[in-house]
Structure 1
């Protein structure tokens, strides 16, 4: 049975910046389920996309894999397509648990868990790359370079699945989406104190962009098409496609 997230349940004298440490890793399944609307739909659809786009003898990279939910979804959906799946996360607490999780299943394709930064990961022969709520924790000035790095290591016809919390371009619209998301958390049992302290903890470490900014940056990186397939409140997931015609940005 998964542990309940009570990290922000008690008043704190000062709220420290959010970190993917042992405490978070210990309650992550509960935290993500109660905080991100449609998370299971996103994980399931990543598997559906893998069945469509992953090619035999290619690589799949799950950058910011946390406990490996997306990697496991890919592994289960590609039983008839031999491939190598790399689950990457910079948090030792996450990768340690991810390794145990992966070993607990008999998978048709191997999942190789590695503890390192997404920026330090050499992408090659990739038919699919996943960044499931990862880019938002990377410094904005480094995001385009990382996307170009991913694009360059991707095979023609490959896809990047990018899920992010996004901001709305108007103040009024942004406040509406934030309020709806906070109500979603309350409906899932979080108190006003937990909502407030979690927001303060994330304020300096999770810097969101608008969909338009994501779309333009992906096009600048070289991707030929950007398709938003999911959105609920201020959370979205998209697929960026590398043209099968071999058009490069170089």
Structure 2
């Protein structure tokens, strides 16, 4: 295993939640130390094998409120998802959202398709579902969510994925997702955001860096990862996200969760 990751205790099972419901930790998971040594040239961030190995720990220490967002998915599904309806999870990574749903809903309550462009993520997610929820209808496809042919669905999850697409591609994707949703369906859109007010934005970013320091990241790790994400993760303002949803056709959207510069929205397709 690459030296960028240091091994975590092997005794933890795949479904151990490391403080986040639905986020798997397996014997093959490691502590995120990708940016812990000085790099002459910081490469662009990508969801490769190195990141996959550390991903559960990376998410736990880098995304404020991720566990709360996962924990609400099944509650939202119970209120808004027609029994047996299709759920899409776009940019599904290791399948945390699918596990959160399968852990709280019976096997016949929904059909799940996770989509991820990263071969390493998709392969790991497939195996996770086979191991952890074999009775549920869970599938994973390696595909580009911008060109994928969507079937009618009752719920679409877009957790921290839109931000990695070129801004010019975002409106077209959201329109395709609106068209794929059945009447009464919902879209969950979680994103890292930027504040339009420079002072407020600076305060949120500073407190986010404090959050990461409190979770064990050094100033060098924070700085190098921020450099790696430049022009890879391009955030919208919260107002811009609501505007995108409106342009896509959603008559109603609301912000239901925010923690510093991380937020989650729900958009409704009225029936």
TM-score, scaled to structure 2: 0.87
Matched length? 244
SS of 2:233's partner is coil
Deviations 1:72-110 (A, max 9, x none): 112233317532100100000101111111111135531
> Aligned with 2:146: secondary structure?
helix
Q: Which residue of 2 aligns with 1:89?
A: 116
Unaligned runs of 5+ in 2: 1-11, 13-28
Displacement of 1:57: 3.2
Q: Distance in 2 between matches of 1:35 and 1:225?
A: 30
Matched, 1:222 2:249: yes
- Verify: 1:135 aligned to 2:162, yes or no: yes
Does residue 153 in structure 1 map to residue 173 in structure 2? no
Q: Is the 8 A contact 2:158 2:190 kept in 1?
A: yes
Counterpart residue number, 2:86: 59
Please say if 1:177 is aligned against 2:204. yes
**Structure 1 unmatched runs, 5+:** 245-250
Give structure 1 regions of 4+ aligned residues with deviation exceeding 2 angstroms.
75-78, 80-83, 106-109
> What is the match of residue 233 of structure 1?
260
Task: Give how far 1:63 is off.
Answer: 0.2
Q: 1:7 is matched with which residue?
A: 34
Contact kept, 8 Å, 1:165 with 1:235, in 2: the verdict is: yes
Aligned to 2:22: none
Residue of structure 2 aligned with 1:126, choices 153, 157, 171:
153
Q: Which residue of 2 aligns with 1:188?
A: 215
